[in-house]
Amino acid sequence: MNDKNTERAAGRETEANLGGSAPTLVPKPFGPLASTRIVSTGVLVAEPFAAALAAEMGAEVIHIERPGSGDLGWRQYGIRVDTRDGAEVATNWVQERRNMFCITLDVSKPQGRALFLKLVTRADAWMENSKGATYAKLGIDDSELLALNPRLVITHVSGYGQSGQPDYIRRASYDAVGQAFGGMMYQTGFPEPGAPTLASPFTGDYITALFALWSTLAGIISARANGAGQTIDVAQFEAIHRVLGGTMVEYFQRGVVRERHGNGSMGAQPLDSYQTSDGWVVVGATTGNTFPRLCRVIGLDSADARWRKANFDPQSMEGVEFDAILRGWISERTTVDVVRLFNDAQVGCSAVMNSRDMAEDPHYKAREVHTEWEDVQAGKIKGIGIVPKFLGTPGQVWRGSVGLGYDNDLVYRKLLGLDEPTLTQLRSAQVI
């Protein structure tokens, strides 16, 4: 096959992978998801973060917001930075909406619904988050979408799922609510009378986003193999519940309700947070040869029956004594010294890092975890780079976050072929 034929074949393959539409809108295709187009209609974290991760790996992500208001929560939530036009934008938005094509569209209006249908016929996947059955009430039915685009993967992300008890499906959910209902919060924190503790930041939502992304990609792989798309139902509480380890086996098989026990392990020690003379460290040396190595560092004989018992029975008198000795030893030393001494002995130990620590740490720098990029709204930004690192087809940041409706003209003109009079009418009607 000559070069021109090869080029044509590659073009046909790209078009097929992008729902048979025009080639990708991404200026210079890159990454493992370069042949993937995703339509995203979520707010805040649970679905948009999944879409953002895909965009950082080369997917063309068209993210839809409501005209006029947009995703006010995530655009404005928390600490904000100045924009070039004198306004402000949230650091959350700047970090997590890179590479995304942001458009506005009111899918509740007939013209908006029609445009939405055109978009998904050109997509590999549509991901959204809302209360269960929200889009069905708007007249956007999965079966209709699959009839229009049989290869489409539809991922619904909601607090309680699309099926089940009707009163649950209608409930609103946020990160803290999902952590509470999914069982994570009950186990997080210190024993009574300590309160159940929220895992931060937005841990339940981020877990849900990862489930949403991997399941969507699995659906796309399946659709490319057999030509059949499908609907995926991601319930936030189930994603959170799924990462609770053996919690439910313990209950169903042994009747055990796993309780809060702080940062330590109930079955072995040391595995906990410890206060140094100037900060905090986490030490883990419960198994194999790590416990004897730790004992040597702090001056104990690991062959002594007392400490062997202490290792695997933290609640025993010997266990309590060992914990007191270790805490005393650590409290007399600086964080730097404790981390150095334990790691030199091949004992797992890390300082409890804050933002400043991570920014200045040599390993973070060596792996280029933090990077700079140009944000359309806020100018030069430094934050977290691409994770994970693909050596063959790496992800990248080709553009930072953008303002509300920034890509309307590009998407509606280039992808859907609308002309200026039509766009003017849609703007006047507040459809876009």
* Structure tokens that stand for 351 in this block: 């300082």
- 86 DSSP 8-state letter: S
- 109 DSSP 8-state letter: S
Cis status, amide bond into 388, omega within 30 of 0: yes
* Structure tokens that stand for 33 in this block: 């998801």
Which residue type does 370 have? H
Q: Reduced to 3 states, what is the DSSP secondary structure of residue 191?
A: coil
Length of the chain: 432
Structure-token match 């419960």, residue found = 286
Query: Do 86 and 54 touch, CB atoms closer than 8 A?
Result: no
Cis status, amide bond into 394, omega within 30 of 0: no
Of 205, 272, 323, 407, catalytic = 205
- 414 DSSP 8-state letter: I
Distance of alpha carbon 400 from alpha carbon 376, whole angstroms: 6
The verdict on whether 344 is a catalytic residue reads no
List CB contacts of 263: < 8 A, sequence separation 6 or more: 272, 273, 282
Alpha helix (H) residue ranges in 25-138: 48-56, 72-76, 91-96, 110-121, 134-137
* Structure tokens that stand for 306 in this block: 């007392």
* Structure tokens that stand for 392 in this block: 């063959």
385 burial class (0-12, 13-18, 19+ CB within 10 angstroms)?
A: middle
Query: Do 43 and 73 touch, CB atoms closer than 8 A?
Result: yes
At what angle are helices 175-182 and 203-226 packed, to 10 degrees? 80
Which residues belong to the active site? 205
